[in-house]
């Protein structure tokens, strides 16, 4: 009985080996037959996270021609070095990934994934470029201008992903990604200045004040405290009362009082202005220069007694407080002077 079972198993294994070998032969013949066929054309598809394309099909076709594509139609499929062509395409800074293959109709399919710029950078030497989500430096385009968060004062002529500026690069990408996902901050933050200490100062669209943001750590909590300060304090005192708003220290917001020149207006109208800004955020097109003297039109006298030590929304267990001061932040955190840097247009 055992011998009979062994014989049956032997024949079963042998049969499947023969079937497998036959399939391999047929597959090899099919591949050989296909490789002997000629290319009937090509199709280029570009995938981009945004609607803007920084590289077009014509440029990709020129790159492929230089990689040995030559005359596409009528050329033997076997003569195409697809790996070399993919490598040539991926050397272009705007191409993140390239995949080439022939479909069943002998059409060469060229699928390209384009890099997505996430921020515009202005260096201290005047140079400017884009960066993508992985920190790759992308050149400006004469054909397309991307509307992105603007960072000025970058300390080097090139983006650095290693060394002392690697952390700065990562913080820029995180801040930019957060701003771009929120329509309010897209509309409100016109410019982000990088200080020599590798911290950030932000220039708003509405309000003649400077936002001292600190470094890029805990950015969600900082933006949260700033928004609450806008809603609960500036909507009552006016957007011209403070010259600086400091959110860099955990659990508090410190406003540097401008003096008697600050304007005041009705709190209801202040909330309406904030809400209108949020509603119209998608339609606003912020440029790369600071809007001057942007203050609400309505004015009204309002008592300020209730704004001292105004208790805001708790932040990770700490109370976020807005402290009104006529002399600026506490002595241990002296305010920095404006450097007046603006991006070149």
Domain boundaries, the chain: 41-114, 117-325
Bridge-partner residues for 174, per DSSP?
none
- Is domain 41-114 in CATH 3.40.640.10, yes or no? no
- Give residue 130's pLDDT: 95
- Indicate if the pLDDT at residue 203 is higher than 70: yes
Q: Which of the four pLDDT bands, split at 50, 70 and 90, describes residue 280?
A: low
- Give residue 283's pLDDT: 52
- Give residue 309's pLDDT: 39
Tens digit of pLDDT for each residue in 99-150? 999 998 989 999 999 999 999 999 999 999 999 988 999 999 888 888 999 9
Tens digit of pLDDT for each residue in 33-77? 555 688 888 899 999 887 778 998 989 988 888 766 666 777 888
Q: Are 313 and 320 in contact (CB under 8 A)?
A: yes
More confident of the two residues 298 and 338:
338
pTM value surpassing 0.75: no
Classify each residue of 201-225 as buried b or exposed e, where b means 16 or more C-beta atoms within 10 Å of its C-beta.
Answer: bbbbbbbbbbbbbbbbebbebbbbb
Residues 303, 210: Cα–Cα separation, whole Å = 24
The CA-based angle 318-320-326, given to 5 degrees, is: 135
More confident of the two residues 309 and 176:
176
């Amino acid at each position: 009985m055992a011998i009979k079972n062994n014989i049956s198993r032997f024949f079963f294994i042998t049969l499947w080996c023969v079937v497998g070998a036959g399939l391999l032969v047929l597959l090899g013949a099919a591949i050989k037959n296909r490789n002997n066929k000629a290319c009937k054309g090509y199709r280029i598809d570009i995938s981009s996270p945004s609607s803007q394309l920084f590289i077009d099909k014509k440029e990709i076709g020129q790159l492929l021609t230089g990689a040995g594509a030559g005359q596409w139609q009528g050329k033997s499929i076997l003569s195409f070095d697809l790996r070399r062509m993919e490598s040539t395409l991926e050397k272009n800074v705007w191409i993140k990934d390239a995949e080439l293959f022939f479909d069943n109709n002998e059409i060469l399919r060229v699928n390209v994934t384009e890099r997505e710029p996430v921020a515009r950078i202005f260096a201290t030497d005047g140079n400017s470029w884009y960066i993508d989500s992985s920190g790759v430096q992308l050149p400006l385009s004469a054909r397309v201008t991307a509307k992105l968060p603007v960072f000025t004062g970058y300390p080097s002529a090139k983006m650095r992903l290693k060394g002392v500026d690697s952390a700065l690069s990562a913080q820029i990408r995180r801040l930019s990604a957060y701003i771009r996902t929120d329509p309010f901050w897209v509309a409100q933050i016109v410019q982000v200045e990088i200080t020599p200490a590798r911290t950030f100062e932000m220039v708003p669209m509405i309000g003649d004040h400077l936002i001292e943001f600190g470094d890029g750590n805990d950015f969600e909590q900082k933006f949260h405290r700033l928004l609450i300060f806008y809603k609960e304090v500036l909507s009552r005192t006016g957007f011209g009362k403070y010259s600086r708003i400091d959110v860099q220290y955990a659990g508090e917001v410190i406003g540097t009082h401008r003096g008697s020149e600050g304007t005041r207006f009705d709190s209801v109208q202040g909330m309406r202005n904030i809400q209108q800004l949020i509603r119209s955020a998608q339609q606003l097109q912020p440029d790369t220069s600071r809007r001057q003297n942007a203050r609400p039109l309505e004015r009204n006298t309002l008592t300020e007694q209730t704004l001292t030590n105004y208790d805001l929304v708790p932040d990770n267990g700490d109370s976020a407080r807005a402290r009104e001061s006529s002399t600026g932040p506490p002595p241990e955190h002296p305010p920095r002077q404006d450097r007046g840097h603006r991006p070149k247009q």
